[in-house]
């Protein structure tokens, strides 16, 4: 995993945001009572069985157009602020699936009100379907943005897609 890119101070946000972890898994559950996260089956590779003849009949050309393949997965992230929030703060978390060529295939986002007094935020995304163009090395990129839309930090997680 690449080091977190924290750019909060460049964007006049009062503190630094760092990523503790970013990963994909079959299931991620955060316990509401203690805020601890359970991760089941970390994913670093998706393997799909494709019927290339059927794709051809459906006029789908691998490598040229995006297709959505059946996959259920969760994205788990944890972010640390260098000081406790002084007031309730809106933060937006955005997750992008990026193709081997660098194209953004999808964006998932969640806006959350983080309560004053915390210095850590866990954010999970659950997804059905993985957008792909072809086999190869993909990137999951998660960004943390201020209410005004300024990027505070981001991190990236590599994974691969293979076809049988």
Interval 98-155: pLDDT, tens = 999 999 999 999 999 999 999 999 999 999 999 999 999 999 999 999 999 999 999 9
Query: CATH 3.50.50.60: does it fit domain 5-163?
Result: no
Q: Are 81 and 119 in contact (CB under 8 A)?
A: yes
Ranges of each domain in the chain: 5-163
User: How far is it, in rounded angstroms, from Cα 140 to Cα 158?
Assistant: 6
How much is the pLDDT for 74? 97
Q: Which of 90, 97, 83 is nearest to 149 (CA)?
A: 90
């Amino acid at each position: 995993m690449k080091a977190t890119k924290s750019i909060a101070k460049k964007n006049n946000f009062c503190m630094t945001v760092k990523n503790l972890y970013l990963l994909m898994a079959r299931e991620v559950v955060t316990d509401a009572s203690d805020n601890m996260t359970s991760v089941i089956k970390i994913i670093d590779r998706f393997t799909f069985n494709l019927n290339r003849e059927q794709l051809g009949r459906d006029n789908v050309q691998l490598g040229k157009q995006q297709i959505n393949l059946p996959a259920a997965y969760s994205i788990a992230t944890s972010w640390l602020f260098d000081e406790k929030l002084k007031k309730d703060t809106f933060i937006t978390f955005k997750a992008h699936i990026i193709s081997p060529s660098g194209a953004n295939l999808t964006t998932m986002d969640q806006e959350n009100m983080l309560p004053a007094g915390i210095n850590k935020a866990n954010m999970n995304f659950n997804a059905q379907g993985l957008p792909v163009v072809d086999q190869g090395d993909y990137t999951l990129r998660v960004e943390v943005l201020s209410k005004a839309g300024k990027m505070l930090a981001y991190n990236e997680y590599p994974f691969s897609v293979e076809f049988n």
